[in-house]
Structures are given as structure tokens and as C-alpha cells.
A and B are shown apart, each in its own frame.
Chain A
Amino acid sequence: MMLRALALLTALMLAAPVAAQQFPTPPRVAAPPPEQIVAGLSRDDVDITTSFDGSDIIIYGAIKREVPIPPGPLDVIVTVEGPAGPITVRHKERRFGIWVNTGKVSVASAPNFYVVATTRPLAKILDPAEDSRFRISVPLAIRAFAGAAEVDDVVPYTEALVRLREANDLYRLDDGAVLLAEQTLFRADVRLPANLIEGYYATRIFLVRDGKVMNTFRAPIEVRKVGLERWLYRLALEQPFFYGIMSLAIAIAAGWGASAAARQLQRR
């Protein structure tokens, strides 16, 4: 799959400028963007096995043009976003000499994994209005609050959420991690950590010029448990009673086995 995509890419890159010069494209109803992303992923599925300890995904591609390269710097931003779920952020305060949870803010939807990779520092290349429109930077990945907020100021709570997830390597901003060659070929290496959960991971690529997003590209990566991991997970959810009995049987068998082994050792 990778080979074919690359062959196609190379062909496109070599052919596109020639085609543009010799046969000017006839006007269409909706004009195609002057610069378009053509991209691929080194893999579009990740299997979680027992020995799974993370995965490296290479996101690569090229910029297809119908026109000569426009002046000005060109930048590429790549984001990978894991499945979202609800989460509660709690705050501790000292009451009667002990530390107690006092305030809490529930976030209805925050991705469990979010990484942003760029060619240059994000703040320099992206217009804030475009950032909030496309929800690119890390704090914007957190979507909505669940119910009315109980606290006066939710900002420290959302900041704490981002900070704690960053500390666990689940949220990350990698300035300069996208390699861009000749304003045409780009490549980003994204490391998926070991503590992933199942689901679809959305990959987005943004082409940025003068702070504005010129073109976007989307592709999903499917992360799923396989083999023993999948079997146990399904059993725990679908046949919980049988699963519980199995867990107990293992415990009893192990307890008996160790006792029998110790008896054997003592006899010798």
C-alpha cells in the first residue's frame, strides 16, 4: 500500500507542473484550491497486543499545485486526536487542617490523546481566529462542559486537565516536528504512547500560508485490541459472570498450585 501511494505521489509531483504549463485547466464551477494536500499514513490500523508498547506512525505526503509555488513561507500542521470521553477535574483545598476535594468541573468531551506537530512554532504560523475555527491548538481540543459550572472560574480546571495530560504524554505540542522539503514534500513521525484506548484516531493535516489554513486533509487510524487482549475485553463486558468465575478459578488454581509445590519442596 505504501509503495503504491508513493509511486503515485512521485508521478503526480513530476507530472503536475508539466501538465499545468502545457494544458491550462479549463475553468470549473468550483475552482480547485491552488495548493492541495496529497497524503498517506504508514499504517491506518494499530493492533494492541499483550506486549504492545506504543506505535510509530509516519504521516507523509506532498502538496499538489496547479500553479507555480506562491511566494511567502508555507507551513504544515499535523494533528492526531484520540477518541473523546467525559472527564471530571477536581480541586483540593485545606479544610479543618486536611486536604479535601472541594470544587469540580465536568468536561463532557475531551480526547484521551491529542498531539499537534508543526513545521515551525505554532503561535508564529497560525492566526488565532483560524486556530479556533479548526480547533488546532491543544487547549481547544477540550470541547464542552457538562451541565452548569459549579465554580466561578473554570479556566484553572481546564488548564489543569491539559497540564496533567501533558505530564502523562497524552497531550503534546511538537513544534518543528514536521519536515518540509522544497515546499512540496512533508513528513511527520507521530509516536502513539503505550497506554492507548481502542477507537478511531482522527488524523488532520493543515496547509498554512500567512496564518490562514489553505487546505486540509483527514484520515482515520483504527486502534483496536487483538488476540487475547480482545478476547478478555469482550468476555469481561459481554459475559461478566463467566469472566468473574474464570478470574476466581485462576486465583484458586494458583493458590492450590503454590501450596502443592511448597509441599513437594518440603518433602525433599
Chain B
Amino acid sequence: MLIRATVLRQPAAHATDAFDAALRRMQDQAGHKAGQNMQIYLPIAEVVVNGLTLVSLGGIVGLMSGLFGVGGGFLITPLLFFIGIPPAIAVATGANQVVASSFSGVLAHVKRKTVDFRMGWVLLAGGLVGSSFGVILFNLLQRIGQVDLVVQLCYVVFLGLIGMMMFQESLRAIRRAKRSGPVQPMRRNQHGWVHRWPLKVKFRASGLYISAIPVLMVGAAVGVLGALMGVGGGFIMVPAMIYLLGMPTKVVIGTSLFQITFLSAYTTLMHAVSSNTVDVMLALLLIVGGVVGAQIGTSLGAKLRAEQLRILLALLVLAVCGKLALDLFLRPEDLYSLTPGIIE
């Protein structure tokens, strides 16, 4: 504007035309800018993302969380990679988001009395030990190199195995239910190895009287895998509770969410302190969508039958597994990739 006034004093007419064109271009850009005002600059990630995209992303993951009792870490982390959030920030902030959606889900389950608190505490104790061990293992793998590959293979193997197992079992349960009319309670291995160990504890809400040792072991194993894969581990915890511990599906989801809330709070704090990778702005946007999604998911879950719920979760797990397997086997779009910093 000012430059134009000054330039006008110069005799060159074509020069003023060129400056006018540049001026018009700038004004067009300014008009264009006003149209996309949902863009938000994330202070820690240092990237710009669309706020609405993040809110809906959180909503979808929250829905899964409420419906299936999984924290949704195995969904949110790859989705954040996809929209261009740096991986370290995606993992840490994903954990923070999981805290909110799981907590919201837990409250809904507490109200319906479908949380086995005693079971939750024992699992959590195992989980904290396992998670700490998992972080050590992660750093060890990082020094050897190829940590990415190990994590990716972990995902494919575990998601594949669990998805297949659940899918098969749910199909059998649905077929059985159709044949014999009224739904029969799932036959649990009442006299399996799990039930012969010492240190027996009464888990009233689950209707179980079993040893605390296998519960601690399940918690620890899920903790290790969770830390290694950067997730809360709900998608491993839920089937482990059903098939290994023999808990009724009704209390599994609430108890899993209860355990995940604490475990991911611990992970978030660890990430914030050790690597400054939690982006609270990013977390807030995901949370806004996530908590709403979790409430919808929980009330939707109450209307569905347990077998249907399980078969849906099995399909979801298999879908994510298939996507990750494709990434391993298909030729990547660009063979080269950038990682900030110097990798030893």
C-alpha cells in the first residue's frame, strides 16, 4: 500500500502494474485465509492442524473406547501419524487423550456397577511393574536399532492373533445361542491351571475366587506390551480377562477401563517429564471429541449383546492388523524418510 504510493512517482508504468498485481495477489491470500480459521498451531508439536479434524478423530476413538473398553491407543497413535504429528508426540499425547476417554467411560461403568475394583487394583499393580520394565526394554531395543520394526511386528502378531481368536469364539457363541434359544452363559474353564494356584482372592463383582498371581501376571504382561507398543493395552487386556481369567464380559470392560485410566496417566506423566512430548493443546482437542464419543459408545454398548460386541471388536482389531501388515509388505511411496535429530 505504502510502497505503491512511493513507486507511483517513478515514471515506469509497467513497474506499477507489476506491483499492483502483487498487491492483488496478497489481498486474495488474505481473503483465502479468513475462510479456514479452524487451523490451530500446536505449541509442542510445532505443526498446524485443522481443529475440526482433531475433534472428530477424538470422537471416533472415544466411541470405540466406550463401546469396547479399549483405551483406543492402538487407533489414535497411527491416526495421528497419518495427519502429520511427529511420532514421539503422537504416542505421548495419545496416552493423555486415553486418560480422559477412559475416565469418562469408567464413571459410566461405575454407575452401572460393572467395575471390579479389586481386580482392577491387582491388574494395575502388575501393570505398573510391567510398564516400567517395558520402557527399559524399549530403550534397549532402540540402542540395538530396528525398534520400529519390532513394534510394528508386535502390533501385527498380537492384533492378528487376538482378532482371530475373538472372531472365531464369538461366531461359535452366536451359533450356539441360535441353536439353543436362550443365551447360555459362556462356559469358563472353572478348573483350569489358573484356579489351582495359592494366594486366592475373592473377586466378588466378577464372581471369581482365584489366585492373585495370574491376575498380576496378566497385568504385567499387558504392561510390557503396552509400553513397547506405546498403547494402554486394552485390546490385549480385554481378551486376556475373558479367556485367561474367565471374567464375565459384563465387568471386563469397566474393569479394563479403570486399569487403563491409571496406567496411561502414569505413561503420560513419564513422557512429559522425560521427553517433553505431551502437547496439551493437541490433547485438549482430541479430548473434547473423545469424551463425547465415549459417552455415546457406553450407552450404545449397553444395548448390544456381548457376542455382538465381541465380534465387532474382533473385526476392528483385524482391520487395524491388516492395515499395518500391508504397510510392512507393500512398497512404501517414498523409500526415504526423515527423522529429526541424529540417530546413533
Contact = CB atoms under 8 A, between A and B. Distances in A.
Q: Do A and B come from one complex?
A: yes
Interface of A: 2-3, 6-7, 9-10, 48-53, 56, 58, 60, 85-94, 97-101, 104, 106, 108, 146-147, 156-157, 160-161, 163-165, 179, 181-182, 185, 187, 189, 191, 194-197, 225, 228-230, 232-233, 236-237, 240-241, 243-248, 250-252, 254-259, 261-263
Given A187-B3, A252-B100, 16 more contacts: A50-B41, A51-B41, A56-B26, A91-B335, A99-B329, A164-B334, A194-B39, A228-B43, A241-B269, A244-B271, A254-B104, A255-B287, A255-B291, A256-B103, A258-B294, A259-B104
Contacts of A93: 335
A114 to B, nearest CB: 14
B320 interface: no
B287 A51 contact: no
A189 B283 contact: no
B10 A181 contact: yes
A87 B340 contact: yes
B193 interface: no
Nearest to B288: A254
Contact of A246 (B280, B335, B341): B280
Contacts, number: 230
Interface stretch (B44-52, B131-139, B228-236): B44-52
Contacts of B75: none
Interface of B: 2-3, 6-7, 9-10, 12, 14-15, 18-19, 22, 25-26, 29, 33, 36-37, 39-41, 43-44, 46-48, 96-97, 99-108, 111, 146, 148-149, 265, 268-269, 271-273, 276, 278, 280-281, 283-284, 287-288, 290-292, 294-295, 299, 327-332, 334-343
A68 B328 CA distance: 66
Pairs A-B, 8 closest by C-beta atoms: A244-B272, A181-B15, A258-B291, A255-B103, A160-B336, A255-B104, A194-B48, A251-B100
A262 B105 CA distance: 11
A217 B268 CA distance: 47
A86 B101 contact: no
B16 to A, nearest CB: 8
A255 B12 CA distance: 65
B39 to A, nearest CB: 5
Contact of A248 (B7, B99, B341): B99
Contacts of A9: 6
Contacts of B294: 255, 258
28 contacts: A56-B26, A86-B341, A87-B341, A90-B339, A92-B336, A92-B337, A99-B332, A100-B149, A160-B334, A164-B337, A164-B338, A181-B7, A181-B14, A185-B10, A187-B22, A195-B46, A225-B43, A232-B281, A240-B273, A243-B272, A244-B272, A244-B278, A247-B272, A248-B96, A248-B99, A250-B287, A254-B288, A255-B107
